[in-house]
Amino acid sequence: MIPALFLDRDGVINVDTGYAHRAEHIRFVDGIFQLCRVFQASGFALVVITNQAGVARGYYSEDDVRALHAWMSAQFARRGVTLTGAYYCPHHPEGTLADLAIACDCRKPQPGMILRAQRELDLDLSASVLIGDRESDIQAGINAGIPINLKMESAEGQSASRAAAVLPGLAAAVHHARHLGILPKSATA
């Protein structure tokens, strides 16, 4: 079993522009590749977990999500980073597509995507880290038993959070992980 760095997609990996589903919608967040290289070099699997309510709402298809994730994976690979897995939830209780308009166990804050990744990739959740930009991301990590859940500052505001820390940028995630002993002191972003 290996630890994982779980990353929310929109707002952590890429700037959240609302319902991004094509490559031309993606602008990577400053520091994401450096952050991933540091965690990867420290033996962490890199796993994307993302709610994609746009599928349930009929804005785009699951094929669109899978194609975007394949493109993103290739962009990471070009920069020396291997994404171990990408998991998405296509459901939303208020969706317009009846078969996807459900309350499920994979939509964050539920831990379903994380637990599925754990089973499929043989991950050690007790040694893992999650970075999200919404409280639902943090709650999913807590619900899955991930001990270190870090929240990026976001448009959601700075209300009370159950995150271990609220971070101003991705470089701060490396600093915080070093401080907690999750990454070696020599790890730099």
Active-site positions? 8, 10
Cα 24 to Cα 188: distance, rounded to the nearest angstrom: 30
d(CA 121, CA 29): 26
Residue 117, phi then psi, degrees to nearest 5: -60, -40
- Say how far apart CA 43 and CA 28 lie, in whole Å: 23
Q: How far apart are CA 76 and CA 55, in angstroms?
A: 24
Opening angle at CA 44, ends 41 and 48, nearest 5: 120
**């919608």: which residue's tokens?**
25
What size, in residues, is the chain?
189
